[in-house]
Structure 1
Amino acid sequence: MPQHSAPSVAPACTWDTTFDVVVIGGGSAGIAVTASLLRRQPSLTIAIVEPRETHDYQPAWTLVGGGLFDVERTRRPMNEVMPDGVTWIRAAVARIEPDENRVRLDNGQTVPYRDLIVAAGLRLAWERIDGLEQALGKDGVTSNYRYDLAPYTWDLVRSMQGGSALFTQPAMPIKCAGAPQKAMYLACDHWRRSGVLDRIDVEFNTAGAVLFGVAAFVPALMKYVMRYRANLAFSSNLVAVDGPGKVAHFDVAGADGVTTRVAKPFDMIHVVPPQVAPDFIRDSALADPAGWCEVDHATLQHPRYPNVFALGDVCSVPNAKTAAAARKQAVVVAENLLAMRAGRLMPRRYDGYGACPLTVEKGKVVLAEFGYGGKLLPTFPLDPTQPSTLAWLLKAKLLPWFYWNGMLKAREWFTKTSV
């Protein structure tokens, strides 16, 4: 691999020189695509705009909530994952001005670019559920979608001896569509092993009409729903939480189209918040009607601004928003952007690949891998619709190591895509 100089940290300022590439976001997608670009063309001048000081391996937070992973192993200093040779701009984006080829920072200063990669992730909209922000982290209200709250999930699970446990899922799209129910499965597995499951009423409330969006995986998941005696409440959207009163309020849509507000008491509730694109994307010329960064679903290039690409949770492709998707998208964007810069046809096509390892019990995972239209895209010659010990070892042991040492370092194993 080419040798680069160490990453430099730049204060927020206005640059007189134009970067070859500006990458918005230092998460999984942003770091991976930057590493892929520099692996192919080390001479590029690249800036990553990222205000956070730490980088998280979020897929492990579900395991943390199940008492199966140390939360401190999911976080590292941002400067440790920044690729060598980049300029790290520690500031937040306020506005993108694609007609002027510049990014405006939250202090009013600007960063000019020749090409732009949007890897800004999404925003967890906790405020869209009344009372939730004030309730989180106490009174039995938790969420594995936050670093500081995943350990509280485990505290609640292991201390619960009886009562009502609610688990929620908002309307799509969200990060890893299986994560809300994985929290339920791991909690129920612990209660079953501890002999208290019979004393706990478990209910999964989802705003959607099905348990999982790809039908091939539903039969295996339903076996676990029945094993854990969990009630399924479809078309049930969490709208308010009263933490001290231990009551959750749901808008439930009936078959007749009438929505009813229903109050449900709880001793524990695991909440997944609504999720939206960052405001600076939603309010920009890059957004599609739903607010996501618009891209061609195959090339990941913006349809109106050819020097703009996007990947990861922020882009408009109709696939699962997972780190596994970003891993393959990074290669597509890196090769297509370099081809575009050289005046060549773009060689890569993204097939919608995403992976959601559905942890159904300690030691068993349904490794859901699929692409556009729900097409199954298994990496290994196993039945992907059935729970597997091998898939558990992949999820709990191999993938965390590979994330830090492979994906973020442009080691592009199993990144072939097809359409």
Structure 2
Amino acid sequence: MLSKSTQTMVLSTMGKRYFSMSTPKSKHFKLVVVGGGAGGCSIAAKFARKIDPKSIAVIEPADMHYYQPQWTMVGGGMKKLEESGRTMESVLPKSITWLKEKAVGFYPDKNLIQISGKNQEPIQYDYLVVATGIQLNFNQIKGLIQAFDTPGVCSNYSPLYVNKTLESIKGFKKGNAIFTFPNTPIKCAGAPQKIMYIADSYFRKHGKRQDANVVFNTSLGVLFGVKKYADALWEIVKKRDIKVNLRTNLVEVIPKERKAIFENLDKPGTSETFDYEMLHVTPPMGPHDVMKTSAGDLVDPAGYVNLNKTTLQHVKYQNIFGLGDCTNLPTSKTAAAVAGQCGILSQNLWSVMNGKDPLGQYDGYTSCPLVTSYSTCVLAEFDYTSQPLETFPVNQAKESRVAFHLKKDIMPGIYWNLMLNGHWNGPAAFRKIAHLGFGK
């Protein structure tokens, strides 16, 4: 039973709004998972086999679960949007409790979470896994939302706009085809340029490339964060005559004039205006609003869940773990990273539940299959130190048809059939086999 001190007004994410606890009781679960994305589903599935499933709750407001890495293929016309989604009910373990609400307040000192909905009781937990993902902030770019209703402006980062990408590629006539990378952390840092390579291939196939000026305007100071793969990608953009502008960040779109304004990050206060025929926008991203306003010591100053980067346990609260895009782990935010984290988190959380120390160590493994055409891919895999951590005993920086079919045809099945059911922790075991036991 909760003490009277906990039956008080709970601050929500909506500024100074408060939810009143009208009941002295709270719903109690042994394990609460916040987020029904790749990490949340996987952890719920793993622990539904370890503890009583009825003692597990997943807090997730969405009706649909999407395999978002497939949206590159959707934007390029190789997959359908419908293939990338399934109902949330179908991907969550059947016997756990699905709380179809938003988390609007975290109170880790009291082991409580407040959820949305009128007169909702707080949720009490013994153990918590935070897997809320990352928020898309399209509205931070002036004029962008309106621009999506006009020709040529698209984004693979939302189910609302991804079909517009193929439409924009097919409708391209001549001029600038611009692809952007924002000045924030993002999910799948390779995706902004994957669709650029696919568009370039489409233009070449359909006789439009001579009239196209393909441009990559990125806020980063590098083409890719790992030198081995960056070197390979520089060779690709040079060979295909793609213009790369580093430290260039989209701040405004003027759809009536088909112009995009980019700030120069190395020269504050200066900007450059580009005409566009096609504009593929990767939006700024960041922690969900609740993490920035109503999470207290759960998060770091930027709003990301503050974890020990190897054990995935919270730096302050021993009964809290986190994974995925919502965390401050210094690795790329990808589904592959989540897979690697799931195995370590499961091992360490189970140890803590049984009174033991969390000894499993996550090495920062992540992967980014960089699709470079309708039949080739550079399979980037690396760790916390930005050193390659490759599964296959070949040079994965080279464009490969095998890597392309792995991305297009094999990975979706692994995701739906293994990962979401808690049976996939990444390719570490296969790496050791492929490297005759000498792989990491």
TM-score of the aligned structures, taking structure 2 as reference length: 0.89
Instruction: Within 5 Å, give how 1:11-410 maps onto structure 2.
Output: 16-42=26-52, 45-107=55-117, 109=120, 110-254=122-266, 257-283=267-293, 284-285=295-296, 286-410=298-422
Distance 2:50 2:402 in 1: 33
Distance 1:260 1:112 in 2: 50
Q: For 1:375, what is the secondary structure of its paired residue? A: coil
Q: Is the 1:365–1:389 Cα contact (8 Å) retained in structure 2?
A: yes
- Aligned residue identity for 1:279: D
Distance 1:267 1:219 in 2: 29
Q: For 1:191, what is the secondary structure of its paired residue? A: helix
Is the alpha carbon distance of 1:402 and 1:97 closer, same or farther for their aligned partners in structure 2, counting shifts above 3 Å?
A: same
Distance 1:85 1:382 in 2: 43
Q: Is the 2:369–2:403 Cα contact (8 Å) retained in structure 1?
A: yes
Q: For 1:174, what is the secondary structure of its paired residue? A: coil
- Aligned residue identity for 1:399: M
Structure 1 residue runs of 5 or longer lacking an equivalent are 1-12
Q: Is the 2:47–2:53 Cα contact (8 Å) retained in structure 1?
A: no
- Aligned residue identity for 2:275: P
Q: Give the CA deviation at 1:376.
A: 1.1
Distance 1:329 1:39 in 2: 18
Per-residue deviation, residues 378-408 of structure 1 (Å, max 9, x unmatched):
1222212111111111100000111111101
Q: Give the CA deviation at 1:40.
A: 3.5
Is the alpha carbon distance of 1:281 and 1:197 closer, same or farther for their aligned partners in structure 2, counting shifts above 3 Å?
A: same
Q: Give the CA deviation at 1:57.
A: 0.6
Q: Is the 1:20–1:44 Cα contact (8 Å) retained in structure 2?
A: no
Distance 2:268 2:127 in 1: 48
Distance 1:374 1:97 in 2: 35
TM-score of the aligned structures, taking structure 1 as reference length: 0.93
Q: For 1:156, what is the secondary structure of its paired residue? A: helix
Q: Give the CA deviation at 1:253.
A: 3.0
Q: Is the 2:142–2:252 Cα contact (8 Å) retained in structure 1?
A: yes
Q: Give the CA deviation at 1:365.
A: 0.6
Distance 2:54 2:394 in 1: 41
Q: Is the 2:339–2:426 Cα contact (8 Å) retained in structure 1?
A: no
- Aligned residue identity for 1:265: D
Q: Give the CA deviation at 1:412.
A: 2.4
Is the alpha carbon distance of 1:100 and 1:248 closer, same or farther for their aligned partners in structure 2, counting shifts above 3 Å?
A: same
Q: Is the 2:178–2:216 Cα contact (8 Å) retained in structure 1?
A: yes
Q: Give the CA deviation at 1:409.
A: 1.0
Q: Is the 2:337–2:364 Cα contact (8 Å) retained in structure 1?
A: yes
Q: Which residue number corresponds to residue 10 of structure 2?
A: none
Q: Give the CA deviation at 1:219.
A: 2.1
Q: Give the CA deviation at 1:244.
A: 1.9
Moved more, 132-141 or 341-350: 132-141
- Aligned residue identity for 1:282: K
Q: For 2:347, what is the secondary structure of its paired residue? A: helix
Distance 1:358 1:415 in 2: 17
Distance 1:105 1:40 in 2: 26
Distance 1:339 1:389 in 2: 42
Q: For 2:385, what is the secondary structure of its paired residue? A: helix
Q: Is the 1:167–1:270 Cα contact (8 Å) retained in structure 2?
A: yes
Distance 2:67 2:149 in 1: 21
Cα RMSD of the aligned pairs, angstroms, is 1.7
Q: Is the 1:36–1:331 Cα contact (8 Å) retained in structure 2?
A: no
Q: Is the 1:189–1:228 Cα contact (8 Å) retained in structure 2?
A: no
Q: Give the CA deviation at 1:145.
A: 0.3
Q: Give the CA deviation at 1:41.
A: 3.5
In percent, how many aligned pairs have the same letter? Answer: 37
Distance 1:349 1:136 in 2: 43
